[in-house]
A and B are shown apart, each in its own frame.
Chain A
């Protein structure tokens, strides 16, 4: 062993320095980071900075404004309820897609992705056509609080399904057979063997679906009617603040949403690492 080696601090990574970038990849990283900063990081920082520039009192006044507080309450309640619903239905849908087999199943796969790819304004229009005033079902949900739940359910449909499905596909059927051979009933197998393996994926899907719902705007425009204290969500409050040129209020409410997004991203990072470890 040489002196140079002894002097080197112990490190868990195989590299000697803390990066292994070549000139070309270094430039690639630099340019990418510049673009990412200009597009995402600096603008989002601007929101936080502007929100805090008026001080805590100003911020607090903005978000506790009666109408805004009602909008935040409605958005978070609906997003939470829809996320819970997605945990159940999303897992059920993933289960059917992976384990069941029947003609036309491929079509369901397509249907799952539609809410993700469909423009949100079109999603709103789509929902109005079945649940609006001309509803062929006689369900008039438009312009009520329920329209929020409906729109959230629509736009967040794919998240839990698409997180759970690949994990379920990789699940070793032999483990379930082993549990069955040890006398476990199907319900017990699901609860004690399958569910624990799916839990991180379900949680990651739930986090994404909560974040998406909390920030939703487009699908509500034509559907909810934006009635204050009844069907007005947080995004709409931000937009009205922007249109009234009330920067302080707009950025304060936006900061609340942004914090939620950041929390979700942290949760997602932790959960996805766990999903990867299981896979």
Chain B
């Protein structure tokens, strides 16, 4: 309804529109575009240089691996927790549902510090024990994965929970009355119904994971060619007056983020159309 009818446009509408556009252009659009133009000031040399530097390739790969692993874990965890929060009753549910959002509001530096205190190899709570098993967490890839998983933890849940609520339980009950077990009901009915929400969640998690900086900076040790991720490389290059290199890596990261938003945007637009159609019929 709100889409088809609208309050008539007065002068206030135009002023507001102009303000919003100007604000967004100055704060976001223009600066982001500048990264692109700065990167390609000298053609594609900046980008090709990044790819010909084995340390940079390593950094990009490390970022990608950490992001993919963190996203995979957070997706399984996120869907499980969402199902439990929406479909089940258990003690402490409300507290859990509030705590799940905590990673969104914790400073990345605090995240890094917290992980250090527990998983630090020297005097962490669990670190020395785990190192005794031959697994180094902090200043190694597992630490980077943990930090990345921490900061992007709630994103899948925040997408899936409202959709599960809206979906209701009738279809699941119908499947069960037709003989489907809990597991069959989940795979055949629930998961296909929340598919798009899970995909948005995954894309957002991936984008957020790839870009984590502060938490990773604390736990990774930031060793070139070993534990330096792409985002850490941007800082290093910039501070070492390799502006072109910094812009090139930043451009690559920004491209992935913008692509991720684009994917979500297209999927959402599709979803909205689909829902509007269903409401009509």
> Which residues of A are at the interface with B, using a C-beta cutoff of 8 A?
13, 15, 18-22, 24-25, 28-29, 31-33, 35-36, 39-44, 46-47, 50, 89, 92-93, 95-96, 98-102, 106, 108-122, 125-127, 129-131, 136, 153-154, 157, 169, 171-174, 176, 186, 208, 211-212, 214-218, 221-222, 234-236, 238-239, 242, 247, 250-251, 254, 257-258, 261-262, 264-266, 268-269
Contact = CB atoms under 8 A, between A and B. Distances in A.
A96 B20 contact: yes
21 contacts: A32-B77, A36-B81, A44-B114, A47-B117, A93-B23, A96-B17, A96-B20, A99-B7, A108-B20, A108-B21, A114-B28, A117-B208, A121-B232, A130-B34, A186-B12, A217-B109, A217-B214, A234-B107, A235-B107, A265-B101, A269-B94
For the residues of A in contact with B, the DSSP-based class is helix
Nearest to A28: B80
Contact of A126 (B34, B88, B107, B265): B34
B178 interface: no
List 8 A-B pairs, minimum CB-CB distance, nearest first: A215-B107, A119-B211, A211-B105, A43-B114, A218-B213, A46-B117, A117-B257, A217-B214
A28 B84 contact: yes
Nearest to B107: A215
Contacts of A217: 107-109, 213-214
Contacts of B56: none
Interface residues on B, range: 35 or more
Given A120-B214, A121-B213, A129-B38, A173 B105 contact: no
Contact of B114 (A47, A113, A118): A47
A237 to B, nearest CB: 9
B65 interface: no
B49 to A, nearest CB: 17
A261 B125 contact: no
B215 to A, nearest CB: 9
B115 interface: yes
B187 interface: no
A39 B150 contact: yes
For the residues of B in contact with A, the DSSP-based class is helix
A241 to B, nearest CB: 9
Nearest to B87: A25
B50 interface: no
B106 interface: yes
Contact of A40 (B88, B119, B150): B150
Nearest to B268: A109
Nearest to A268: B101
B207 interface: yes
Contacts of B125: 42, 46
B10 A99 contact: no
Nearest to B32: A126
Contact of A154 (B28, B102, B106): B28
A122 B89 contact: no
B212 interface: yes
B140 interface: no
B130 to A, nearest CB: 11
B237 to A, nearest CB: 10
A25 B28 contact: no
B253 A119 contact: yes
Given A130-B30, A169-B2, A258-B106, A40 B254 contact: no
A261 B102 contact: yes
In the complex, which of the residues A32, A111, A117 has the most CB atoms of chain B within 10 Å of its own CB atom?
A117
Interface in B18-39: 19-21, 23-24, 26-32, 34-35, 38
B246 A125 contact: yes
Interface in B87-118: 88-91, 94, 96-118
